Amino acid sequence: MLDNQPGAIPVNVSCTALVPWYPPSPPPPLHLGKIAGLEAITAGALLLKSFPPRRFVVDPWLREGETALIWAASGVGKTMLSLSMAMAMATGGSVGGWRAEKPSKVVYIDGEMHLQDVRDRVDMLKTTGAVTLGAPDLLDTNLVFFSRQAQSRNAVFFDLTTEEGRDSILHACDTLGADVLILDNFTTLSEQLEDENAAHAFKKIQRFLLQTKQAGLTTLLIHHARKDGNALRGSASIEVTFEVVLELRKPKIERMGAACFSPHFGKFRQKKGEQLLPRLWSLTEAGWEIGEEVDLDADNAALHCVKSLQFVSQTEVAAHLGLAKGTVSKHLATAVERKLISREDLKECFAKARRLREEGVGDDLDTVEEEQASTEDY
């Protein structure tokens, strides 16, 4: 019989049973460890990895471990905003609708101001209520300043362009247990930068910013604009490392002698919301005032202030523009002569501004008297 011959296939055995069986290959390791001295991770391990939630150091635009570049022309208000945010972050407070989720240890390195000027500005921001302090007592210990002007003449201050300077900054932050590092400003903290317009000159600084992220630090670098004010100073390559690039833009109608700007987010890696729309920030004796920017589409700034319905009197317009009240009166009279607006419409603008303000904050007898006086000079 066929089935008795050597090598014959038994009639009750399927041919597929003779196909060689190989055990399945083991899955590749999820954790690779170090390769070439660097940590590597597979996509599988990455998808399984859990991360602690990253809180907002400045809600809604800066999370812990991120870096931000804030730049503007001189005199716009970079330092006043930076100090305001430092105070808010140190106490878990807020400024202008931007909020710190909880208190942080903040190290503020200042490269040019006199320590007395720093003191006066912090005191003013505190006493005027410009910054809402979450836990006021924490301001005394959670905000630490390093001021160049306060050092001895022979002391070597922090320098972002030297390895020793960068290491000393990280060491100071480690020693103090810092969560946030503010560097104000790039120009005064980069003494040995050879050519600020050369992209390669910023490589070491970019590496330093990456090191601050690895250390878990949230870092803000303050920088100047070019002389024309239209772009940040030096090579644009400095922007590469930052999650956030924030320009403080001069308003079309400047407020003389006070910090006044409109924040514009040129780079932002999260979803933008209403709180990030450009608004006009003005620092007054009563703190930060935030509102809509006056649209200047002609030469008469006083007239556009009136039309904005933000001012109830010529006195307020004059204070905003840094002009004498008589000068504002002449500008408005000229606008009437040129038939840009009628006297009746001017009066109605002041009256409407007063009504809008009353709806928001209630009646004010002083404002009523001021409004009546404002219509008598043209």
The answer to whether the CB of 241 falls within 8 A of the CB of 67 is yes
Q: What phi, psi does 77 have (nearest 5°)? A: 135, 25
β partners of residue 266: none
State residue 374's pLDDT score: 47
**56-291: which CATH architecture?**
3-Layer(aba) Sandwich (3.40)
Query: Which token pair is 318?
Result: 């004059």
Pairing of strands 62-63, 218-224: unpaired
Between helix 115-127 and helix 78-91 the angle, nearest 10°, is: 60
**Residue 369's pLDDT band (cuts 50, 70, 90):** very low
ω into residue 6 within 30 of 0, thus cis?
no
Dihedral sign of CA atoms 291, 296, 297, 301 in order: positive
Q: Where are the domains of the chain?
A: 56-291, 301-374
pLDDT per position as a tens digit, 279-332: 889 898 888 988 776 554 445 788 888 988 889 999 998 888 878 888 888 888
Amino acid at residue number 160: L
Kindly report the pTM of this predicted structure: 0.71
* DSSP three-state, residue 124: helix
**Residue 371's pLDDT band (cuts 50, 70, 90):** very low
State residue 81's pLDDT score: 97
ω into residue 197 within 30 of 0, thus cis?
no
Between residues 220 and 356, the one the model is more confident about: 220
- Closest residue by Cα to residue 57 from 86, 97, 79: 86
pLDDT at 195 over 80: no
Pairing of strands 180-184, 218-224: parallel
Mean pLDDT score across all residues of the chain: 84
What separation in angstroms does the CA of 273 have from each of 246, 264, 277, 278? 15, 13, 7, 11
pLDDT per position as a tens digit, 198-250: 667 788 888 999 999 999 999 999 999 988 777 888 777 778 889 999 999 98
State residue 362's pLDDT score: 42
pLDDT per position as a tens digit, 130-163: 999 999 999 999 999 999 999 999 999 999 999 9
pLDDT per position as a tens digit, 43-54: 888 888 888 888
